[in-house]
Structure formats: structure tokens, C-alpha cells
Amino acid sequence: MHLPDGIIPLDQAVIYWIISLIAIGIFFFRLSKHPNQKDRRLILSAILAAATIVASSITIPSPFGIPMHFFIIPLVVIILGPFNGTLITFLSLIVQTLIGLGGFTVVGANVLVMGVVLPLATYACYKAFYKFNESLAIFLGTFLGILAATIAQIVVLIIADASDLQMLILTLLPFYLFIGIIEGFITNLIISFIRNLKGEILTLDKI
């Protein structure tokens, strides 16, 4: 989902930057309401940001012929909350831009898709299904969050007149549905591992 420079018109790119910066501002505002968790949260954010940079920079061949990468953002959201996911997405994308993965002008659009839509959808679905079954909530939160982000990227590309709807649906949807299923299972395994190793991490307030 790392869009390159030039694919989004500059006026649209500016709007996406503004939306993304507002979301980051919301994170810091909400963080200020939890001063007792600040240091611990920022350390965890740094660790998860590094993990996100590595995981989303590694491409793996897929059955659809398109190299795939994992997001890790749903894991971040379940541990730290949706707007913490926005910050980590932003930091990860800035670093990846510096190493040539994705463009700088489109960071706002990439953050909107992966750092706003994906975290909010993941968290909403996770909370909705948590009362029924936690493992199911983690899986569906991850899967539906990635699906929502895919739809958001399709909308962004359609607005930018970068491609036609049929082409985007045929190329992006199967690819990211496949990713969503795999990452849903992986996120469950990691959360289970964290709970057994250091369960107090999962008790932090979700920001």
C-alpha cells in the first residue's frame, strides 16, 4: 500500500497530509490525559514502530503474482489503541520513504489509509466482537481493518484518477484479503505469546 510520488495530485496530497496530522494531534492530546503511562507507551511505540518498518519492508511472493507485505498495525492497535497506530504508521512511513519505499508527497495519503482507516476499523471491529470471543475479535479486527484500508486505497486512487475501479478491485482486493487472513492468524499468535510472557502490556489504556 505504499503509493509512489506523482500518483496523487498535489492538492489532494495536501488534504491527506492535513487529515493525517490532525489524527496525530489527537493521539498526543489523548496521550496527555494518561501521563502515568507516557514513558512506557513511548518505549513500546518505538519497539513496535521498528517492527512495523521491518515487517512492512519485507516483500513475500503471493499466489496473485504481486509481492505482499504485512502491516503489523492491527497488532499495534490491539495493544496500544487506534491513534497510537496512527503515530506508528506515520513514523514507519517516514523512515521507509527515506529508504525509497513510497513517496514523500503521498505520505499523508498512505497514513490516511494505513494509519487512520486501518486502525479505526480494526479497533471498532475488535471492540464489537470482543464480548463474544477474544480470538475471533482479534482475527476479525485484523481482517476487516485491512479490508477497510484496501477499500480506502481504492477510493483514494479513484479520486486521483490513477486507475479504473474494475482494475483496482481485481488487483488489490484478492491480494489484501489474502494478507488479512494470514495476518489475522499471526496477530492472534503474537497476542497469545505476549499474554503468556508479559501480560501487563495488554492492560495499557487504548489511545
Alpha-carbon gap, residue 175 to 90, rounded angstroms: 23
Those residues whose C-beta lies under 8 Å from the C-beta of residue 124, and which sit 6 or more positions away, are: none
Q: Show pLDDT as tens, one digit a residue, over the chain (207 residues).
A: 678 888 899 999 999 999 999 999 999 999 988 888 888 888 899 999 999 988 887 776 655 455 567 889 999 999 999 999 999 999 999 998 998 888 899 999 999 999 999 999 999 999 999 999 999 999 999 999 999 999 999 999 999 998 888 888 888 888 889 899 999 999 999 999 999 988 888 888 899
Is 51:72 a contact under the CB 8 Å cutoff? Answer: yes
Domain boundaries defined on the chain? 10-203
Distance in angstroms (rounded) separating the CA atoms of residues 207 and 31: 7
Helical H segments across the chain, by residue range: 10-31, 38-57, 73-80, 82-98, 107-111, 118-130, 134-159, 165-198
- Asked: is 10-203 a CATH 3.40.50.150 domain? The reply is no
Burial of 9 by CB count in 10 Å (0-12 exposed, 13-18 middle, 19+ buried)? middle
Write down the pTM of the prediction. Answer: 0.91
Residue position matching grid coordinates 494470514: 182
CA–CA separation, 190 and 202 (whole Å): 12
